[in-house]
Amino acid sequence: MEISQIIPHIEALIFASEKPLNREEIFELINNSLGFIDDRATEEQVEQAIEAIREKYGSEFYAFEMKESGGGWQFLTKKEYHKTVAQLNGDRFLKKLSSASLETLAIIAYKQPVTKSEIEIIRGVNCDYAVQKLLEKELVLIAGRKEDAIGKPLIYTTSKNFMDYFGINSPEDLPKIKEVLMEELVEATKIEHSESEKNDVVTNGTTIDDSMTTDS
């Protein structure tokens, strides 16, 4: 089977699907629809067709692209058009999250599945309102109950909308905590002072020599 035959079928499937389609689903649907028993598309051909489509819509001539997000392939508007498209979705997508909601969302994303009490232990404050807002915006969802905990509290995880919004396939695609911290980390640099500076500089009545400590 020629890849050129496969490409338009994959485009149609991804365009029409209500959810992202992964490679295995695309492979099965393509062969079921074309029905060529003696000339089935191979996994390699499907992979090549997906890559060709991805490159095609990566062109600047298209306002959308085919991207692997939310667990599979889907057509998404390119980021430079997000503000324009957001007007169609109302205030739910236009309003920014508060700092409290962002902190709560980050905890859920990195600690999921997590209970509300566990979130509150980390944040140090009540998070009822923040969790409710995240549920309303469908960025998190209730994934069940923690059966081995007292009272069997609800547990929360990020949703498909969260993955779509951040353009990832799973929580494992989130940047590692160390990577985030490294961007903000400023390492202390030891400053050498001349003898005259040491004698001249006084802090709260104490010279630099007296105020500085040296690790043994």
Are residues 70 and 104 located together in one domain of the fold?
A: no
What is residue 203's predicted lDDT score, i.e. its pLDDT?
Answer: 46
Higher pLDDT, 164 or 11: 11
Q: Is residue 195 part of a domain?
A: no
Question: pTM for the complete prediction?
Answer: 0.56
What is residue 199's predicted lDDT score, i.e. its pLDDT?
Answer: 52
Does the structure show a pLDDT above 80 at 210?
A: no
111/172 Cα distance (integer angstroms): 11
Are residues 117 and 57 located together in one domain of the fold?
A: no
* Upper half-sphere CA count for residue 164 (Cβ side, 13 Å): 18
Does the structure show a pLDDT above 60 at 1?
A: yes
What is residue 208's predicted lDDT score, i.e. its pLDDT?
Answer: 37
Q: Is residue 199 part of a domain?
A: no
State the total domains in the chain. 2
73/22 Cα distance (integer angstroms): 6
Residue 73 belongs to domain with CATH number: 1.10.10.10
Are residues 103 and 55 located together in one domain of the fold?
A: no
What is residue 181's predicted lDDT score, i.e. its pLDDT?
Answer: 56
What is residue 216's predicted lDDT score, i.e. its pLDDT?
Answer: 41
Residues spanned by the domain of 49: 3-82
What is residue 63's predicted lDDT score, i.e. its pLDDT?
Answer: 94
Are residues 71 and 17 located together in one domain of the fold?
A: yes
Q: What are 48's two structure tokens? A: 């090549």
Q: Provide φ and ψ at 207, rounded to 5°.
A: -70, 160
- Give the strand order in the sheet containing 140-145: 114-115, 154-158, 140-145
First to last CA, the chain: 72
User: Residue range 71-78: average pLDDT?
Assistant: 88
Are residues 169 and 145 located together in one domain of the fold?
A: yes
Q: Is residue 90 part of a domain?
A: no
